[in-house]
């Protein structure tokens, strides 16, 4: 990795990224999945490519990584790396507009240290000199206008009762022994208000509902606006080797209207046999997925059923770790884990078959992943939940997203329906501009 320039004056990444909001494969990672200290802008890729599905995109990523510089990034410049970044759509072999997968090869990035209020330009040794000026210009661009208020409209894509019927269909298939759990989703669709833009929606979400894996990706004809709290997998170099970590979320309760009610909901979630069993099924699935690329005996579970509180819901989150085999790459691991077990079910393949048959339409970007990977072997990837896909229309933008829940034999259709509505709340408010 090239020597870094001295830290640059602070500018918030939301302001710096604004001129890129319609640039093909410009990506903003707003937060690093940890304490939110770092953000990064990936822009002006040397190479970029669309793909029919995640498998094709990951095969290209694997090939591109072979030729990347493997040196470590400069100390103190944060967790992000120049290299490969992109989006993986959920659906295999998706035709036409459902083929959402794409990736770029980035020679340099801007990394934003929110704690030190400094910006770092991180470059690959062979980075083209003209791109440096284009990135640095983002730090001096005029302040962007405030995001317009949300004034769009969104509606359930089918009658509310239909989701309850899908829950019952899943329970019937579980009773037949087909699988143990499947994550069935409910689709909302509509449009942004006049004069609204997907990046304005992203900025409103960043203000009202900060998320550990918030990200914005611009693709031809559409923009992905993700407010995800969930990591799919992270690979970090360590003295013991390349350590992989997945943090599946499974188990949800609404926030309470008073501190006492909120604390009661959190306690009930942590004590719920159903939610703990649901979480444990996915932990076992993730242990199996990590074992496909990790050293035998290295996979362990350092944390189970931890409470994660978001602005609109409480979640249970667990952690699974392992050490990669010497001959397996971070991209190999991502392929082994994709799509996430928390949004498919267990066993994964049987659950995915049922999901396809019961939902009846492609998921597109929903429940896919946004990721980056560096030549030094590190990688981070999210799960695309709480994520809207906005598509350009003749006038304005459409907006659609899915929310779902893991269905088990103990699921109650009305309770699961209410859970989807709690999860949808922040996106609905950000799009429509009022409590919904």
- pLDDT tens-digit map of 389-413: 999 999 999 999 999 999 999 999 9
How large is the average pLDDT for residues 72-79? 80
Cα dihedral 16→20→22→26 (10° resolution): -110
Q: Residue 66: its pLDDT value, please?
A: 87
Q: What is the pLDDT of residues 339-382, one digit of tens each?
A: 999 999 999 999 999 999 999 999 999 999 999 999 999 999 99
Q: Which of 56, 230, 335, 421 is catalytic?
A: 230
Please give the CATH architecture assigned to the domain spanning 8-432. Answer: 4-Layer Sandwich (3.60)
The DSSP code for 151 is -
pLDDT interval class at 434 (50, 70, 90): low
The predicted pLDDT at position 436 comes to 40
Q: Using an 8 Å Cβ cutoff, are 106 and 373 in contact?
A: no
CA 50-343-262 angle, 5° bins: 125
Considering Cα of 288, then 292, then 294, then 295, what sign does the dihedral take? positive
Q: How far apart are CA 389 and CA 381, in angstroms?
A: 18
3-state secondary structure of 49: strand
Question: Diameter of the chain by CA atoms?
Answer: 63
Active site residue 166: no
Contact 164, 417 (CB under 8 A): yes
* Residue of 250, 335, 419, 423 with catalytic role: 250
Average pLDDT rounded to a whole number, residues 139-157: 93
Query: What percent of the chain is predicted at pLDDT more than 70?
Result: 97
101, 87 contact by CB (below 8 A): yes
CA 410 to chain centre: 28
CA 340 to each of CA 326, 347, 352: distance values in angstroms, whole numbers, following the listed order = 23, 12, 11
SS3 417: helix
Cα angle, residue 342 at apex, residues 340 and 346 outer, rounded to 5°: 95
pLDDT of residue 409: 93
348 is catalytic: no
């Amino acid at each position: 990795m090239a020597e870094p320039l001295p830290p640059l004056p602070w500018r918030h990444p939301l302001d710096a990224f604004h001129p890129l909001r319609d640039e093909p494969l410009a990506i903003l990672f707003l937060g690093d999945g940890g304490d939110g200290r770092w953000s990064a802008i990936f822009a002006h890729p040397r190479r970029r490519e669309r793909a029919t599905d995640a498998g094709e995109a990951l095969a290209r990523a694997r090939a591109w990584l072979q030729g990347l510089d493997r040196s470590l990034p400069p100390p103190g410049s944060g967790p992000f790396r120049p290299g490969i970044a992109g989006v993986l759509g959920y659906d295999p072999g998706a035709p036409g507009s459902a083929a959402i997968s794409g990736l770029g090869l980035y020679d340099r990035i801007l990394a934003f240290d929110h704690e030190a209020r400094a910006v770092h330009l991180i470059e690959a040794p062979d980075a083209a000199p003209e791109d440096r000026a284009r990135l640095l210009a983002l730090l001096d661009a005029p302040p962007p206008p405030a995001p317009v208020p949300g004034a769009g409209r969104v509606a359930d894509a089918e009658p509310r009762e239909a989701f309850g019927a899908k829950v019952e269909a899943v329970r019937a298939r579980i009773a037949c022994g087909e699988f143990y759990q499947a994550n069935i989703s409910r689709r909302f669709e509509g449009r942004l208000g006049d004069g609204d833009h997907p990046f304005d929606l992203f900025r409103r979400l960043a203000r009202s509902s900060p998320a550990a894996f918030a990200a914005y990706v611009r693709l031809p004809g559409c923009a992905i606006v993700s407010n995800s709290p969930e990591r799919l997998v992270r690979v970090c170099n360590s003295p013991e080797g390349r350590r992989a970590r997945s943090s599946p979320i499974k188990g949800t309760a609404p926030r309470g209207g008073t501190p006492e009610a909120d604390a009661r909901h959190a306690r009930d979630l942590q004590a719920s046999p159903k939610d703990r069993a649901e979480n444990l099924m996915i932990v076992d699935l993730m242990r199996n997925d990590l074992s496909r690329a990790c050293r035998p005996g290295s996979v362990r579970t350092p944390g189970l059923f931890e409470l994660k509180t978001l602005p609109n819901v409480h979640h249970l989150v667990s952690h699974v770790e392992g050490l990669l085999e010497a001959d397996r790459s971070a991209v190999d691991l991502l392929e082994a884990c994709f799509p996430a077990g928390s949004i498919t079910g267990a066993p994964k393949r049987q659950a995915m078959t049922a999901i396809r048959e019961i939902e009846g339409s492609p998921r597109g970007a929903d429940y896919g992943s946004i990721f980056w990977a560096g030549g030094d072997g590190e990688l981070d990837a999210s799960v695309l939940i709480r994520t809207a896909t906005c598509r350009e229309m003749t006038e304005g933008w459409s907006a659609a997203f899915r929310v779902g829940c893991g269905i088990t034999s103990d699921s109650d259709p009305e309770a699961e329906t209410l859970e989807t509505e709690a999860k949808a709340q922040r996106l609905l408010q950000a799009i429509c501009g009022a409590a919904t």
